[in-house]
Amino acid sequence: MNREINFYDAQQASGFIIPQQLRIETEVFQTRYPSFEFGELMFVNTDGDMWDIGTVFFSGDIAGKAEFLAGAGFDMPYASVARTQFLQQNHFAGIGYEWFLQELQRAAKEGRNLPNEKAMAAGKVAQRFKYGIAIRGSTEKGFVGLINNPSVPTANVPADGTGSSALWANKTPDQIARDFNLGLSDVINNTAETSIPDTVLLPSSRLQAISTKRIGDTADYTLLRFLRENNLITAQSGRPLTIRGSRELETAGAGGTARMVTYDNSREVVQFHLPGDHTFLPPWQKSSMTWEVAGIMNIGGTEIRLPKAMSYRDGI
C-alpha cells in the first residue's frame, strides 16, 4: 500500500523528490532514441566541461617542391608550412521540466510517475536538439552541420538518365553505381589519396530504393548488396564500406534536391563538440505548489577539419 506524501510538509516532500530525481536521472540516461542518434555518424568530442567557452584548433598544409641541385649550388628549395587558427565556440542551452502539486497528486491517484514521464520527455527533446545541430547546424548560432558545410566540395551527379534526368529513379543500375563511386573518387582525388572514405550517407528514400532493386538473375542480389561488395574502396583496399540512410538528405542538396554525402568518418576529419552533455540540476521548489528541475548542456557543434575528405553529390 502506497504511503501518501504530504507535499505541504517540506521535509516529507524533499525526502520524496530527491531520491526520485536520482533514480529518474539514471533511467533517462539509460534510454536511447535511435531516430535522433548522431554518434555513429561522427566522433563525439566530450573534452572540456559545462563551462568551457570553446576550442581552439589549427589546420595546416605543407608547400614546397624538391628540385635537382648542382653540387655547389646555392639555390636550395625550401618547404614551408601554412597554419590557420580556428575557434570552435561553445553555446549554453537547456531543457528542463516542472511539476505542480495538483497534477502530481492526480498522477499519483492514477499510478503514474509524473516526474519520470517529464524527465523522459526533456531527455528526448535534448537529444533531438543535439541531433539537429550535429546534422543541420544552427542559423541562430552560425553553426553548420554534417550535411551542409559550404567548405565541402559539392557537385551534381550527371544528368544522363531517362529524359536527361539526374534522379536515380530514372537511371540504370550501372549509372547509379557510377554516381555512387563518383562520391568515393571525389574524396580520394581531392585529398591526393591521403584520405580514404569509409562512409556513404544516402537519402532514406534512395537507400530504400536500391535495397529492393534487384540486379542479375539472383532474387536476393540487390543493387545495395552489389554496391557494398563492389564499390571503389572495397575493391581497392578490401575494407567494408558503411552505407546508411538519413531522412535529412532528402532536400539537403542545391535547389532542394537529394544529396549523397561521402566521407572519411574519423575524428581527424569530422567531430561533434559536446563538452557538457544534457544534465539535470537538483530539483528546487520555486513556489508553494511548484517544483522545477533545470536541464543544461554545453554544445560546440560539428567541426569539419578536413573538408576535402568529404564530398557532396546532389541531384540523386
Q: pLDDT digit string (tens) for 225-274?
A: 999 999 999 988 888 999 999 999 999 999 999 999 999 999 999 999 99
Contact (Cβ atoms closer than 8 angstroms) between residue 137 and residue 143:
yes
Q: What is the pLDDT of residue 88?
A: 78
Rounded Cα distance, 215 and 210, in Å: 10
Give alpha helix (H) positions in the chain: 10-30, 101-109, 114-135, 173-190, 204-212, 223-230, 232-237
List Cα–Cα distances, 311 to 46, 139, 158, 251, in angstroms: 26, 22, 15, 16
pLDDT tens, residue by residue, 268-288? 999 999 999 999 999 888 888
Q: Kindly state the greatest CA–CA separation across the chain.
A: 99
Match domain 154-266+306-314 to its CATH number in 2.40.160.40, 3.30.2320.10, 1.10.10.60, 1.10.150.120: 3.30.2320.10
Task: Read off the pLDDT band of 97 (50, 70, 90).
Answer: very high
Kindly indicate the confidence band of residue 23, based on its pLDDT and cuts at 50, 70 and 90: low
Range name among 27-41, 124-138, 191-205, 270-284 with the lowest pLDDT average: 27-41
CA dihedral 243, 247, 253, 258 (to 10 degrees): 70
Q: Pick the range with the lowest mean pLDDT from 66-70, 188-192, 236-240.
A: 66-70
pLDDT, greater one: 247 or 22? 247
Q: What is the pTM of this model?
A: 0.79
Query: Three cell numbers at 80?
Result: 614551408
Q: Kindly state the percentage of the chain with pLDDT values over 90.
A: 61
> Read out DSSP for 61-92?
EEE-------TT-------EEEEEEEEEE-EE
Query: How far apart, in Å, are the Cα atoms of 198 and each of 162, 263, 304?
Result: 30, 6, 16
CA distances from 32 to 13, 153, 237 (A): 30, 33, 34
Say if residue 208's pLDDT is above 90. Answer: yes
How far apart (Å, rounded) are the C-alpha atoms in residues 256 and 272? Answer: 25
Which of 98-102, 115-119, 215-219 bottoms out in mean pLDDT, i.e. has the lowest? 215-219
Distance from chain centroid for Cα 63 = 33
Residue 6: predicted pLDDT: 54
* Least confident among 52-56, 136-140, 143-147, 276-280: 52-56
Q: Where are the domains of the chain?
A: 10-24+37-54+88-145+271-304, 154-266+306-314
Q: What is the mean pLDDT of the chain?
A: 86
